[in-house]
Copies of this chain bind each other. A is one copy, B any other.
């Protein structure tokens, strides 16, 4: 009933982190730990859990104990078991289902949501853009509405943008997609074979990891230093892993905000070319370099005989509610990706594409104030953290919408749970890594205005004090103390 991955007992226990079966009700403790992993997204729905026998052996507890834990998970709706087949992570109840939604307006409850690194649309422009797109929309509504490759005028506008940046591009090299995530899914579907290895920066964007796994790829992490990309490390990773696919975010990398230096770019493209792997470059944040423009696009260094694909989107520079992204690549590959698109969603909406044309025509006007806004927020965030929680280390991000904050202790998951109780939602570092890495990091967004930032930081301070002072105590018992 599912296409999820199968988790071995050892891998599950690695996700347990510093959890150890103590005295008292061990089954309940196991249940609680697994529920937490499901709720923070590290155990995704459809993942097959190890058998009771295997998990009991690895944990050094009785099989009856694990069976009791699984029973309770089933009762809570977090586990589905098929006789003789195995047990899979399931969706709990409506509450949990709502919590899995990536965004909620702050107004609906009292929690401040710091899990999303995205901004509202520039409202003053929006009504205007809609009105400007309306005549074309009416004209298009007289036709059929399906444009597998995208509207010709949008393909041309996107191609012009690449050309203006020094990457000569024709409209035929552009496929319009329903956001950049859609573009990544199309690349994966067209390129991956069963068991293909995919090189990713580590940390990296969680939905990229999820998509790679969804399409059957095996993620191979290449660590980013605080200083960034180390070409020698990439060369070695390529040699060892022999990947079919390399996913990389050179501009305003998510979550670190790093920008790949000019001299590293040609070398990385060269490494990909020699390996024969497709190089998929996520450039959704390129226009949000905050101090100086992003360096030369990687596509500039592409050479014949290699497959280099560039992904873009208006979600970060304009608005995520407008689902318009794109892929740039060789025409033959664009055609292949389009046949995949026909099976996934047929086409991207016409109206959103028409608004995208308006946005692209005026992009600098839209993005310049956004960058100024993010610069101010960045300064405020770094300063507030340094003042409120000096133990945390925050490298100033060179671009993007988030900061990667080092806690100084491997407590990110616990901090995220306690923060939730304190009225602020944060994303723990392991969401951006593989197999539980980055327990000493959290990501914070650059989206908060001063007043909201002050309130959010007050709540984070309360959560941090609770976690720091009560490492040995179960998080739930902290409610009364903060």
Do B145 and A46 touch across chains, with their CB atoms under 8 A apart? no
Interface membership of chain A positions 109-139, coded 1 if the CB is closer than 8 angstroms to chain B and 0 otherwise: 0000000101111010011001100100110
Q: A119-B144, A323-B345 provided; 13 other pairs, C-beta below 8 A?
A: A3-B193, A44-B339, A97-B331, A97-B334, A103-B147, A123-B142, A140-B321, A182-B346, A214-B343, A349-B349, A349-B351, A351-B355, A352-B352
Q: How far is the CA of A244 from the CA of B85 in the complex (A)?
A: 14
Given known contacts A143-B103, A172-B94, is B321 in contact with A2 (CB within 8 Å)?
Answer: no
Question: What are 23 A-B residue pairs whose CB atoms fall within 8 Å in the complex?
Answer: A1-B191, A1-B244, A2-B190, A2-B336, A3-B191, A3-B192, A44-B339, A91-B336, A100-B335, A100-B338, A101-B149, A103-B147, A116-B146, A120-B142, A121-B142, A126-B138, A145-B320, A178-B323, A178-B349, A181-B343, A345-B345, A349-B349, A349-B351
In the complex, A141 has a CB within 8 A of chain B: yes
- 3 cross-chain pairs, A with B, having the tightest CB-CB distances, nearest first: A145-B321, A91-B335, A321-B350
Using an 8 Å CB-CB cutoff, how does the interface string of A411-427 with B read, 1 for contact, 0 for none?
00000000000000000
Q: Does A385 contact B (CB under 8 A)?
A: no
What 1/0 mask marks residues of chain A from 86 to 105 whose CB sits below 8 Å from any chain B CB?
A: 00001100101100111101
A344 near B: Cβ within 8 Å?
A: yes
Is A347 in contact with chain B by the CB < 8 A criterion? yes
Contact A331 B207 (CB under 8 A): no
Q: How many of chain A's residues have a CB under 8 angstroms from any CB in B?
A: 86
Query: Which of A97, A142, A211, A315 has most chain B Cβ within 10 Å?
Result: A97
Question: Which of the listed residues A44, A307, A332 has the most CB atoms from chain B within 10 Å of its own CB?
Answer: A332
For A143-157 the 0/1 string (1 means CB < 8 A from B) is 111111100000000
**Residue in A144, A215, A336 whose Cβ sees the most chain B Cβ within 10 Å:** A144
Also in contact, A46 and B103, with CB within 8 A (given A3-B190, A116-B144, A322-B349): no
> Which residues does chain B contribute within 8 Å of A338, judged by CB atoms?
97, 100-101
Give every chain B residue within 8 A of A336 (Cβ-Cβ): 2, 45-46, 90-91
Of B141, B211, B319, which one neighbours A145 at CB under 8 angstroms?
Answer: B319
User: Taking CB as reference atom, which chain B residue is nearest A105?
Assistant: B143
In the complex, chain B residues whose CB is within 8 Å of the CB of A192: 3
B191–A214 touching, CB < 8 Å: no
Kindly state whether residue A342 has any CB partner on chain B within 8 Å: yes
CB distance from A481 to the nearest CB of B (A): 32
For the complex, is A448 an interface residue (Cβ under 8 Å from B)?
Answer: no
Instruction: Give Cα A28 to B6, complex, Å.
Output: 49
Question: Are the C-beta atoms of B130 and A134 separated by less than 8 Å?
Answer: yes
B-chain residues with CB within 8 Å of residue A97 when the two chains form the complex: 149, 172, 331, 334-335, 338
Q: A402 contacts which chain B residues (CB < 8 A)?
A: none
Given A323-B348, A342-B207, A141 and B120 contact (CB-CB distance below 8 Å): yes
Residues on B with beta carbons closer than 8 Å to the beta carbon of A278: 1
Which chain A residues (27-81) contact chain B, with CB distance < 8 Å?
Answer: 44-46, 77
A210 within 8 A of B: yes
Asked if A340 is at the interface (CB within 8 A of a chain B CB), the reply is yes
Chain B positions within 8 Å of A1 at CB level: 191, 244, 278, 307
Contact among B143, B179, B214, B346 for A120, CB-based, below 8 A: B143
Residues on B with beta carbons closer than 8 Å to the beta carbon of A182: 344-346
Is there contact, CB below 8 Å, between B211 and A343? Answer: yes
Nearest CB in chain B to that of A91: its residue:
B335
